[in-house]
Structure 1
Amino acid sequence: MPRQFITELERTPDHTHVLLITTGSVASIKAPLIVQELLRYSNVKVEVVATKQSLAFFNTTDVEQTGARLWTDDDEWSGTYTIGDPILHIELRRWADIVLVAPCSANTLAKIAAGLCDNLVTSVLRALAPSTPTYIFPAMNTLMYEHPLTAQHLRVVREVVKYHVVGPIGKGLACGDVGLGAMTEWKDIVQTVVDKMQLQLKP
């Protein structure tokens, strides 16, 4: 029996519903830390949507042990869909109060800018209401970040799609290069949610 996600059963009054999206950057290794830290705050629920590529960098059980669930392309269509069944990318976008794409790889950034929706991640993003606060945290090699197309993609994401772009930062990268391209520090990503949603730590 395929897993289902139904918004009206999953949303809880007076809670903040955080959707964390991970994509194919080594910075996805920070996903369990982001989830764990968010859940230290009162009335917070977290769901994680991961691209296949991002799963190379963290253990899914590290996320699930926090109590959050992780969703992938394999959960989107079971092969037994009938009219009226919940559609995962629509249910997740209805559920989310705030969306974090952390990290956002060069590939996913390009897809967002082009309007592609060829996996669960990009389908959720394409389906989001414009009123849902959405934060993009780019993470890629310095030369990938400095590629002229990246600036064009970021312009579209900021000015046309109206997402908030935070980072990247300069530091030593996983590939050994030093320069601009690293994801914003994971604690600062959590603080973005705390500030935006006015969260309070659990007593």
Structure 2
Amino acid sequence: MVHQHFEAAKARLPDHTHVIILATGSVASVKVPLIVKELLSYARVRVQVVATKAALTFFKPDEVRALGGDVGVWTDEDEWDVDYKIGDPILHIELRRWADVVLVAPCSANTLAKMAGGLCDNLATSLLRALDPSIPTYVFPAMNTLMYAHPLTSAHLRVVRETLGYEVVGPIGKALACGDIGLGAMTEWKDIVQIVVERFKLVKEGLLST
């Protein structure tokens, strides 16, 4: 039962940086294990991953959990127990209380549209809708070049930036998984990690002064 396995998500540790990665349905989700592994190489960092159903096409939860650090991988199926009762923890609320920073990496066109429209029909978008506006949230778009060039995309990004106050980073231009070449690829995963490192002044494990 989910509410019986909540300790990893609930327990905030003093002097730690708590990072939530929201992985959505873009091929760039293959980079999620790399992002998690690199973040965990820094001292006093904890990570939780929230994955949409489509994101799990590109990585396996056990691959991420095996990296250690009490990393949880949460999916829509974890949101509600069949035996839920009033007073039990609610996953998207517990996770948003836990977070110091949220990375939507990658952010698909579909999830971007949901965010801009205020939809919360899965765990990832419910968490975002419940998130305290003071929590820094970074959005890393990743989609086909023509999807990125679609007029709705610029409108959605404007809402995400100006109304929601999220920071949009990327996309970048490169050869895409679909075979097209152009703008639409997720920011390089190492650069995503570096944003967190610089914002929270993280230090590599073993280099932290005692």
Q: What TM-score does the superposition give when structure 2 sets the normalisation length?
A: 0.94
Asked if 1:140 is matched to 2:147, the reply is no
Using the alignment, how far apart are the partners of 2:154 and 2:35 within structure 1?
27
Contact 1:89 1:127 in 2 (8 A): yes
Q: Give the secondary structure class of the aligned counterpart of 2:87.
A: coil
Q: Deviations over 1:140-174 (max 9, x none)?
A: 00000000000000000000000000000000000
Using the alignment, how far apart are the partners of 1:53 and 1:102 within structure 2?
13
Using the alignment, how far apart are the partners of 2:138 and 2:107 within structure 1?
10
Matches of residues 102-181 of structure 1 in structure 2 within 5 Å? 102-181=105-184
Letter matched to residue 153 of structure 1: H
Return the offset for 1:69: 1.2
Identity %: 68
Letter matched to residue 170 of structure 2: G
Q: Give the secondary structure class of the aligned counterpart of 1:17.
A: strand
| Residue in 2 that maps onto 1:198 | 201
Using the alignment, how far apart are the partners of 1:163 and 1:4 within structure 2?
30
Using the alignment, how far apart are the partners of 2:201 and 2:116 within structure 1?
30
Contact 1:50 1:121 in 2 (8 A): yes
- Worse-matched range after superposition: 79-88 or 126-135: 79-88
* Unaligned ranges ≥5, structure 2: none
Return the offset for 1:4: 3.6
* Unaligned ranges ≥5, structure 1: none
Q: Give the secondary structure class of the aligned counterpart of 2:134.
A: coil
Using the alignment, how far apart are the partners of 1:52 and 1:125 within structure 2?
16
Q: Deviations over 1:162-189 (max 9, x none)?
A: 0000000000000000000000000000
Cα distance change on mapping 1:56 and 1:7 into 2, 3 Å: closer
Q: What TM-score does the superposition give when structure 1 sets the normalisation length?
A: 0.97
| Residue in 2 that maps onto 1:11 | 12
Using the alignment, how far apart are the partners of 2:48 and 2:132 within structure 1?
18
Computed over aligned residues only, the root mean square deviation of the Cα atoms, in angstroms, reads 1.2
| Residue in 2 that maps onto 1:93 | 96
| Residue in 1 that maps onto 2:55 | 54
Contact 2:8 2:72 in 1 (8 A): no
Using the alignment, how far apart are the partners of 1:152 and 1:8 within structure 2?
34
Matches of residues 19-34 of structure 1 in structure 2 within 5 Å? 19-34=20-35
Using the alignment, how far apart are the partners of 2:128 and 2:5 within structure 1?
19
User: What is the count of residue pairs matched by the alignment?
Assistant: 203
